[in-house]
Each structure stands twice: as structure tokens, then as C-alpha cells.
Amino acid sequence: MTHPAATAPPAPPPPEAVGPLIRSLSVLRELATGGGRRSVGDLVRGTGLARSTVDRVLSTLARLGYVRTEGRDAVLAPRLLELGNAYLAASELPDRLGPLADRLADELDESVSLAVPDGDGVRFVHQATRRRAMSLAFRIGDLLPAERGAPGALFADGWDEADWRRWRARRAADPTDMGFPAVPPRRAEDTSEADFAARVAAARTAGWSLDDQLIEPGLVAVALPVRDTAGRPVCALSAVSHTSRLSADTLPDAVLPRLRETVSAMEDALRAPQPCPPAGPASAAAPGPSHATWMRASKQELGPEFVESMARGLITLTAFGTGRAALPLTAVAEATGLARATARRALITLEHLGYIAADGKFFRLTPKVLELGFAHLSGLTLPDIAQPHLASLVERVHDSASMAVLSDDDIQYVARVPTVRIMSVNITLGTRFPAYATSMGRVLLAGLPPAERSARLARTRPEPLTRHTVTDPERLLALLEEVRAAGYALVDEELEEGLRSLAVPVHDRTGRVVAAVNVSTHAARCTPGEAREALLPALRTAAAGIEADLSVAGRYARIPVR
């Protein structure tokens, strides 16, 4: 169920609206509310669209890289995060204020959040969480009812009577908050209108708001508004704790002084000069590689299932970004490479659906863009991102593929797709091997700064695992330098007799090596040179796909490597 804005039926779309764009967004919303995965049949029932329409929508979204199919299911893909990234970059809140929130979380040793108003709800745009048995579990993009949390009372202070009517209508239409899957269902005795109005008044007087277990038992929070140069609250800074550590009575005294200092620093950061907008469409935060591919393709190459008007409408959202928060129609058309009339229809459609707000001649993205799967996708781990690419790699080379990360002086397997052979390499997730004797280990060691690489080898006592294992420290250092220069490692029967492995690195968006991907095979099948020729291009293609997804996913979310 999606967030019900009111009980009245939605307004009909304007005549200029792009129907395929409306339908594609309904499919994306249905996928998002389903936890990122839905069968095609469920999508047909959930959206009310014809099966043939859903098939065409999914075909187009798959070509854009926003979904993939797994059997009968459609699954949201990390590339979709570029839409939410466009809003977050345009708002500049995570970029400017996120580091200050992270520092505050470290100082308080409590979870800290940044949230913005979204209709009669509150949506998170940054999270700095503490890992505890009982801790905050919200994600960037999660939506909460305004009355169930500390930030909502701060934002509701600016509501007019029409806003309050919409709030009442939403509560009447959704009495248990089923439209807000990030929070537990609302109980009958939870916040009444009078209670919420009283908390709004109290927050107005105090300048801060308290959440005394409004979301769920045990969770308490204090929030302060962060205001722009005009004095308007643009977001709320919250410190969240648990009653096992601090009560609703003791939390304000414990955190308010540092919250106030951080809010002051954040408001200074918002007053700092904004970055200059990128010069021209070539440097705009617009079409990515997947977009450039289909925009150059002919209709015959795209096929009958590809709906160009849908694709054009979606990439309109990517015109916005850092230094490009408010754009006129002409700038949107230039940034996306679309005709002015095409961009105008897309903007009108997106404004009708609430994803864009118009202010005179200028258009802005709204936080609602984050409802398009951002919360689910921002919770992915690196193995989650890698798995479909490993599956494609195995399908291409017909040998098992794996991903590993460094763990002390070992590698640890975090993702794996086996193949079916009479003789196959049998390894389970969590398996550890000495890094010095494995292809993935050598790739990971080669990716370290030279001083750290040398220090690791200096404390390692290499043992001969087979008669081929290289154990001489100087020879290992030379091999690692060769791996670093070549961009791959081939290890032949050093870990186990008869086992050959080829690995390449996986880099994050900063260029740091965070993981390695390999293919393992039996040495009897081919020579090392033949293995390199057959496997290396496919390995590099898989790694490039993982890196592209990781770059998009890691723009604002922290992606765990295991």
C-alpha cells in the first residue's frame, strides 16, 4: 500500500501528461512497497495495469538498468538509486550537513538523523547509526507519519488549515499507518489530534521536540530544526537513544547542548556560498551510461517493448543535482538532451505526481522521489550488489565465481555462485584462506597502500600449502607489484593442487579496492595462458558492472562489504 495523501480520489492528470511515465512510476512504487521484489502477476494486481502494459514497463526499466528479472519476479536494481541521488545532491543536505551529523553521532555515541518534511510525513535523508542490539533501524528514504516522531512536531508548526485537513484525512483513511511500512502499526490509543497539537505547541515554545516512544516502545529522541537563511526549517536534526540507556526525562539534558552547537554549525554550512552549477549539459548530473546507450540506439535496436516516452520522462529527474537544485525548462532539456517540448511534458507529469515542485519558471525535485525504492536499495550490502553480476559471469564462463574481502591476513568469501560440473570447487560463504596464496588475496593486498602492504607481509609467516606455493617475502612483494600493475592475479596450484584461480579487483566510488572477484577452475582443463584469455575479459566485465552499481549505491548510503 502506498502513502495515502487523502481520502479524495486523485486529481485527473493534465492533458499534457505522459501516460507511460505515470504507469512506469506506479510499477516502481509497487516494487518499492513490496520490498524491492514482486512477481509480474502481483504487479498486475497491485497497479491495475494490463499484463502487456506491465511487461512493456518492465522491459523498458530493465533496459535502463532500474530493474532486473529473476524467474517470474521483477527486482529493483541499484542503478535506480540515481533518481534519489539526484534529489539528495540537489538538496545538498547530506553533502553539507551529513559530516556534522556523523561527528555528532561519534561524540554522543547515539544514532543521529537528518529528516525533511514530505507532505504530512517525515522522510530521512541521512543516518549516522550506532550498531547495538537495540538501535535505530531506519534507512535513508524511509517515511514516517509526522505525529510519530520528534521532527514532525517541528514541521507541523508551519502547517496551515489545509495541511491539517490532509493530515486528518490520511489518518482516517489509514488508521493503522499501513501506508508507512517503516514503522510498526499504529494502535488505537496512540497519538490523538489533541496530543499532536499539544506537542506542536510545546515544540514551538521550547524550540525542540521530544519523542517519548512514539514510534515503538523503548525508542526516545530529541530533534531541533535546522533553518535556512530565511529562517525556514529545511530539515530536523535528531539524536535517538533507547530507554535502556537514557529515558525521555534524561535524554534532553544529555544531548541538547551538543545538538544546539551542531545546529548552529549546520546553519553556518547552509549559509556558505553554493557551488557553481556545472557549465553546460556535458557536465550536468544527467544521463548515465545506460541512458546514453539507449538514446543512441535506433527504434529497431530498442525493440517494440521499449517505451521511449517512459524512459525520457524518468531521465528528466536526473537533470537535477549539486548546484542544480532549481532549473528552468531550458536547462532541464539541455541537461538531458531532450527536446524542449518533451522535457516540458515530462515535468508537467512529474509535478502532477508530486515528484517535482514548480516555483514560477523553476522546477525542483521533492523528497517524494526517495519513495522510488531508495530505502530498500540503500540497505543493500556489497554481496547483494555483486550477486547478479556473479551469476551472469558464471553463465558466461561455466565455472564458479566468488567475491572475497580482506579479514586480517586472510580473505573471507562473502558472495559465491557455483556452477554444476562433475569436478567443481566447493567453497561456502564465510570460508577463509591465507591471502598470500590466493588470487583474490593478492588482488586485495596489491590494492593496499605500499606501506600497509609491506607491513602485512612482514607480520605474515607464509607456509607452503602445496609444492607451488610462493613463500619468499621478497618474491611475494614483487608479485603483488606485478598484480597492481596488471590489474589481475592468476594463482596456479598454490592453494591446492590442481586448482587455478584468476581474480580482479572491485573498486568503490573513491577508487579504493574493497573486494575481489574470481573464477576458480581445475588446472587440467587448459593452460594458464588459455585461462587468462578465456576468463579475464568476462571477469573485468563483471567487476565493472559491480563497480558501476556500487558507485551509484554508495553516493549517499554506506554499503557494508559483508
The cell numbers describing 343, all together, are 522535457
Please tell me the distance from the alpha carbon of residue 80 to that of residue 74, in angstroms, as a whole number.
13
Write out the DSSP string of 126-158: EEE----SS-----TT-EEETTSSHHHHHHHTT
Residue that is written with C-alpha cell 517515511 in the block: 143
The 10s digit of each residue's pLDDT in 55-90 is 999 999 999 999 999 989 999 999 999 999 999 999
Higher pLDDT, 29 or 494: 29
| pLDDT tens readout for residues 193-219 | 899 999 999 999 999 999 999 988 899
CA–CA–CA angle 43, 345, 33 (5° rounding): 25
* pLDDT of 7 higher than 50: no
Asked if residue 285 has pLDDT above 50, the reply is: no
Measured between its terminal Cα atoms, the distance across the chain in Å is 31
Query: SS3 of 515, please?
Result: strand
Q: According to the model, what pLDDT value does residue 79 have?
A: 95
Average pLDDT over residues 106-113: 94
pLDDT of residue 530: 87
How many angstroms from the chain centroid is the CA of residue 46? 24
* Contact assessment for residue 453 and residue 476, using Cβ atoms and an 8 Å cutoff: no
Q: For all residues of the chain together, what is the average pLDDT?
A: 89
Tell me the C-alpha distance between 137 and 183, whole Å. 10
Q: So what's the pLDDT on residue 280?
A: 40
Question: Residue 291: which pLDDT band, with cuts at 50, 70 and 90?
Answer: low
State the Cα–Cα distance between residues 345 and 15, nearest whole angstrom: 9
Joined grid coordinates for residue 406? 580482506
pTM of the model: 0.91
Can you give the pLDDT at residue 419? 81
pLDDT per residue over 353-362, tens digit each? 999 999 889 9
- As a whole number, mean pLDDT of residues 39-59 equals 96
Grid cell, residue 346, equals: 515530462
Region 261-274 average pLDDT:
93
User: Is the predicted pLDDT of residue 265 greater than 60, yes or no?
Assistant: yes
pLDDT band at 461 (very low <50, low <70, confident <90, very high): confident
pLDDT for the residue 93: 97
How far is it, in rounded angstroms, from Cα 237 to Cα 126? 10
- Residues 556, 269, 256: CA angle, nearest 5 degrees: 90
pLDDT at 550: 95
Task: Please give the residue that has the higher pLDDT: either 135 or 244.
Answer: 244
Q: What is the pLDDT of residue 303?
A: 77
What's 43's DSSP letter?
H
- Cα 138 from Cα 122, distance rounded (Å): 12
As a residue count, the chain comes to 562
Report d(CA 166, CA 152) in Å as an integer.
15
Query: Which pLDDT band, with edges at 50, 70 and 90, does 130 fall under?
Result: confident
Q: Residue 189: pLDDT band by 50, 70, 90 thresholds?
A: low
The whole-number pLDDT of residue 332 equals: 95
What would the mean pLDDT of 25-46 be, rounded to a whole number? Answer: 95
Q: What is the largest CA-CA distance in the chain?
A: 81
More confident site: 523 or 42: 42
Query: How deeply is 339 buried, as exposed, middle or buried, from its count of CB atoms within 10 A (0-12, 13-18, 19+)?
Result: exposed
What type of residue is 35?
G
Q: What are the contacts of 507-510 at 24+ separation with CB within 8 A?
A: 507/547, 508/547, 508/550, 508/551, 508/554, 508/559, 509/550, 509/551, 509/554, 509/555
Confidence of residue 294 (pLDDT cuts 50, 70, 90): low
Reported as a pLDDT band with limits 50, 70 and 90, residue 287 is: very low
Contacts of 29 (CB under 8 A, 6+ apart): 2, 371, 372
pLDDT, tens digit, 9 for 90 and up, residues 231-261: 999 999 999 999 999 999 999 999 999 999 9
Banded pLDDT at 4 (limits 50, 70, 90):
very low
Q: In the structure, what pLDDT confidence band is assigned to residue 283 with cuts at 50, 70 and 90?
A: very low
Query: What is the C-alpha separation between 56 and 329, in angstroms, rounded?
Result: 28
DSSP 245-276: T--TTTHHHHHHHHHHHHHHHHHHHHHSPPPP
Query: 423 falls in which pLDDT band (50, 70, 90)?
Result: very low
Q: Is 296's pLDDT higher than 70?
A: no
Binned at pLDDT 50, 70 and 90, residue 132 comes out as low
**42-46, 59-63, 190-194: range with lowest mean pLDDT:** 190-194
Report the pLDDT value the prediction gives residue 281, as an integer from 0 to 100: 37
pLDDT band at 154 (very low <50, low <70, confident <90, very high): very high
Give the model confidence (pLDDT) of 301-340 as tens digits. 677 788 989 999 999 999 999 999 999 999 999 999 899 9
